[in-house]
Structure formats: C-alpha cells, structure tokens
Amino acid sequence: MPLARRVARLAVCSAVVLVTASACAPEPEKKASGNATTAASCAPGELATVASGKLTVGTDKPAYAPWFEDDDPANGKGFESAVAYAVAKQLGYDKGQVVWQTVPFNSSFAPGAKKFDFDINQVSISDQRKKAVAFSSGYYDVRQAVVALKTSKAAKAKSVADLKDVKLGAQVGTTSLDFVNDLVKPTQKPSVYQKNDFAKSALKNGQVDAIVVDLPTAFYITGAEVTDAEVVGQFENTTGTPERFGLVLDKESALTSCVSGAVDKLRDNGTLASLEKKWLSEAVDAPVLK
C-alpha cells in the first residue's frame, strides 16, 4: 500500500478509536449527581421540595399528646411538632414556610409516591418499612409499654408471661402490635384498631384488659385520658439496638440526606435532648417486663 494512503488510513482509524473511547468513557460527574444529594443542594432555597419555597410535613389526625398539643401540629407545641420545626429551621425554613398535611399513620410508610417532604408520626424505623420508604436518622429512642385498668388482672402483671392469658389491644401497623404478636404471643387473638383513640375506648369500656403503646403515650393516657388506668410496665429491649422513631420520606427522595443531616445536628447540639426534657419529662421510667 502506498505510504500516503497508509498514513490517511491510520489517521481515520485513530479518529474512530478516539471517538469511540470518548463515547464509552465513564462519566463520573453525571453518575455522582444522579439522585444523590450533594452538600450544596442542602443549602437553604435549593431543596427540591414538594412545593417550591415551602416544606410540607405530614402527620396523622388526631395528633396525640405528648407528641402534639391541642390536636394542632402547626402550633409548635408537643415533642414532634417542636422537632419538625427545629428540623425545618436547620433546612432554612421558618415557621411560616412549613405546611402541614394530614396523613394516616399506615399511609405514611405504605408504598407509593408521597405528597409530603417528610412525615413525623411516631413511626419506628424498620427494615421492612425501608422497602417502601426512606427514613432519616432516628430522633427519639422509644420503649413499648402496657397500659391496663387498675382493676384488671393485667394490672398485676410482673413479666411478659403474665400477659399471655389477658386480652390485649394495639393499633394496626405499629411496633406495639408487633410486640404483642412476637414477644407476648397471647393465647387470645389481640384486638386491632385503626387508631389509638379506638384502643383507648376499648380499654375504658373493658373490651380489652390492656393495650400496648409507646411509653410517653402510655403515661399521657394514664395521666390525662384514662385516669383509672396505670402503666403496668415496659418491654425490655432484647435486640441490642434501640427502637427509634425516624422521619419518613419518599423512597426516592433527594432530601433524605439533608433531613438526616439536620436531625444529626439537632442531636449533636443538644436540641433533641432539650426538647425531650421539655415535652416528655413526665414519661418517667416504668418497671421492665421480662
């Protein structure tokens, strides 16, 4: 082959190789940006929220004390209302930019797209729930407790075994119900209720011997709502990992790391501990049922 033609052919081949290599080369910057949240995108005003310039927060209705007060999440009173506004402030949103949305408890962590930026409603972080939604880091370590009428046989329980033959109740979809089914394993099928209000009514009317709720709620029930009931005790943490409440986000939310970062800062600077002391201080220790 003549030298001129050979040089021209090599030039074309080289160009093809360069184009091909360029087209097939990895693009780390694009891959890194993807759905991942960068530090810059957590800056105030740059969050990809449901409503531009607003932070939409979900919770159930009624909004129970001591997590909320007067069934009004927007008033900033109650532990979870205060936490929500503290997180919002960390993210760069003042109180007037927070929009509350009613979200039934079970709907908050059900599969499907969400219409809130995060939900706060005593939702425990679990691997099962993580299949459908994302969670922030935990903002509260919780124990489950037993509430019984003072005249009930359940009120005399000193251990988990003592609860096996009593009629228990709990809200559907909760870790409270999981403790009943998986730890107590009662001989009678537990009564399951859509809301804690219904469980409390059943307790008051004697339809169940006891109900299982989280410890702060247990103390509130006995102190303000069903005054002839008492906190029998709390369940022991047998897993070594505490049960924690987390903020719920859409499975694909780009805000998850931003929201987790805000929660972490509130924990590190003592805000969460301060809010817990202010709003949950009456939830004192209860006997441990082993």
What one-character-per-residue DSSP string does 110-135 give?
SSS--SSSEE-SSPBP-TTGGGTEEE
The answer to whether the beta carbons of residues 138 and 246 sit under 8 Å apart is yes
**pLDDT tens digits, residue range 92-129?**
999 999 999 999 999 999 999 999 999 999 999 999 99
d(CA 3, CA 23): 30
Instruction: Report residue 272's pLDDT band, with 50, 70 and 90 as the boundaries.
Output: very high
pLDDT above 90: percentage of residues in the chain:
80
**Residue 60, SS3?**
coil
Q: What is the pLDDT of residue 192?
A: 98
Per mean pLDDT, which range of 21-30, 34-43, 123-132, 258-267 is the poorest? 21-30
56-76 mean pLDDT: 96
Q: What is the pLDDT of residue 167?
A: 96
Residue 34 has pLDDT above 50, yes or no: no
Q: What is the pLDDT of residue 12?
A: 38
**Residue 14, SS3?**
helix
Q: What is the CA radius of gyration of the chain?
A: 26
Residue 203 has pLDDT above 50, yes or no: yes
Residue 284 has pLDDT above 70, yes or no: no
For 19, the token pair is 């184009």
**pLDDT tens digits, residue range 223-245?**
999 999 999 999 987 777 889 99
